[in-house]
Structure 1
Amino acid sequence: MSARGTILLVDDEKEIIQLMDIYLKNEGYKLLKAADGLEALELLGRHQVDLIILDVMMPRMDGIEACMKIRESKNMPIIMLSAKGQDMDKIAGLSIGADDYVTKPFNPLELVARVKSQLRRYQQLSGPQRQDENEIVIEELVINISTHTVTVEGQEVQLTPREFAILKLLAINRGIVLSMERIYQEVWNEPFMESKNTVMVHIRKIREKIEKDNQNPRYIKTVWGIGYKIDRL
């Protein structure tokens, strides 16, 4: 990684790639470039990336789908680019896990400033708490992926394998509302088949073990009519 960090720029417009290549490199960042979401995912599998600038409209895999895929396992900042400036388009981008939204055409200096702001915020929030690559730390909740252990305020709690899988899924996708259908399909690895009660029962059991007040949960929040989420810090 370079002194300032590595940025993945995903856009099928060569002019934007060339323009931001100049501005970002002048600021000391290393730049990786992709023309669509599939190429971006391939690069993420081979490189350590600190921030992603992701265009919405692209061939093969667009930015919305790419952002959702990235958020399944990564939590670095994502800045969305789009020619669509309507509020609902911005809300859609932010609701699937993007951290910021910039409308085209944009001032390159403004985008660089947003890159710096997002990296600074991410490093402040994740730096002191991220003890190793296998731990997810959310306030007093610590999830160790390698040992499949969970502690709350330093006390270990016993979760079943499925309870652990649900908690890990929500923690990895922090800030994103996951439907009961998606939770069931990813944890049980089978079609949903109207299994709402199964997910609800598991969520209730997890809360009983990690929350002090089930009526006002600190970690797993219910988004009525949609699903569950763990808030971003």
Structure 2
Amino acid sequence: MTQESEEARTVLVVEDDPTINQALSDRLTAEGFAVARAVDGPGALTAFAEHAPDLVVLDLMLPGIDGLEVCRRVQAQRPVPVLMLTAKVEETDVLVGLGVGADDYLTKPFRMRELVARVRALLRRVDRAVELAAGREPALTVGDVVLDRAARRVHLAGAEVHLTPLEFDLLAVLAEQPGTVRSRESLMSEVWGWADARGTRTLDSHVKSLRAKIGAARVRTVHGVGYALEVQG
């Protein structure tokens, strides 16, 4: 991503701790992003409507309206990548966050350069999705699973399945080579834009959520290696 394109991107930072909020805003501004800020749930919804951000950095625990509900409401208005910040490490908390449309998460404390890398990776994913839609990529069919990559819609045995943006991208990468095991590193690189295996728990959480929606048997785990999409139906 070029510096020029980053300058056109607005990131909404929603964090009730004023020190963290200021630090995040200062770092993202220094990296060339426009930054809008909010310190609670109601303020986040107001700022979202006012600034139309390209990405939201969203703390889970907020006064007024919690981060999960904020995420639900903003995604209902307009799909936008959400990077959720949480002090909780339990997988159930992470999966609940992903289920309402959060694309990724960071557990506190985190390094600023890691957050910036995640923000850029999420924005690159959005850019790739736009390019695919513009090119009218043909549908992918794997057994009874059909992915319309241009419309970003998935049908399972004729019925539409609603996936989050990252669940769709993960399924699309696996569907390009059905039955072939894709390494965790390659999936992190292609879906999240990371060059290494950082955040593999994020990958595992998305796989678990994807299995719940399309059937566990369709996504095979090869322990220590990665995942494969199996032909069913």
TM-based fold match above 0.5: yes
Q: CA deviation at 1:71?
A: 1.3
1:85 counterpart residue number: 89
Q: Which has the larger radius of gyration?
A: 1
Q: CA deviation at 1:130?
A: 6.2
**Separation (CA, whole Å) in 2 of partners of 1:2 and 1:110:** 17
Gaps of 5+ in 1: 132-136, 141-151, 153-170, 176-210, 222-228
- Paired residue secondary structure (1:41): helix
Q: CA deviation at 1:94?
A: 0.7
1:56–1:230 distance in 2 versus 1, CA, 3 Å:
closer
CA displacement 1:129-183 (0-9 Å, x = unmatched) = 269xxxxx9976xxxxxxxxxxx9xxxxxxxxxxxxxxxxxx99x89xxxxxxxx
2:70 counterpart residue number: 66
1:1-233 to structure 2, matched below 5 A, reads 3-129=7-133, 216-217=157-158, 220-221=160-161, 229-230=162-163, 232-233=168-169
1:64–1:138 distance in 2 versus 1, CA, 3 Å:
farther
Count residues in correspondence: 154
Of all paired residues, the percent bearing the same amino acid is 35
1:139–1:94 distance in 2 versus 1, CA, 3 Å:
farther
The amino acid of 1:26's aligned partner reads: A
The amino acid of 2:160's aligned partner reads: I
Q: CA deviation at 1:24?
A: 0.6
1:43–1:230 distance in 2 versus 1, CA, 3 Å:
same
- Paired residue secondary structure (2:133): coil
- Paired residue secondary structure (1:72): helix
Q: CA deviation at 1:87?
A: 1.2
The normalised TM-score by structure 2 is: 0.58
The amino acid of 1:15's aligned partner reads: T
Gaps of 5+ in 2: 140-147, 170-233
Q: CA deviation at 1:48?
A: 2.3
**Separation (CA, whole Å) in 1 of partners of 2:39 and 2:92:** 25
- Paired residue secondary structure (1:45): helix
The amino acid of 2:104's aligned partner reads: D
1:139–1:97 distance in 2 versus 1, CA, 3 Å:
farther
CA displacement 1:92-143 (0-9 Å, x = unmatched) = 1111110001101111110010000000111111245269xxxxx9976xxx
- Paired residue secondary structure (1:76): coil
- Paired residue secondary structure (1:33): strand
The normalised TM-score by structure 1 is: 0.58
Q: CA deviation at 1:85?
A: 1.0
- Paired residue secondary structure (1:46): helix
Which has the larger share of helix?
A: 2
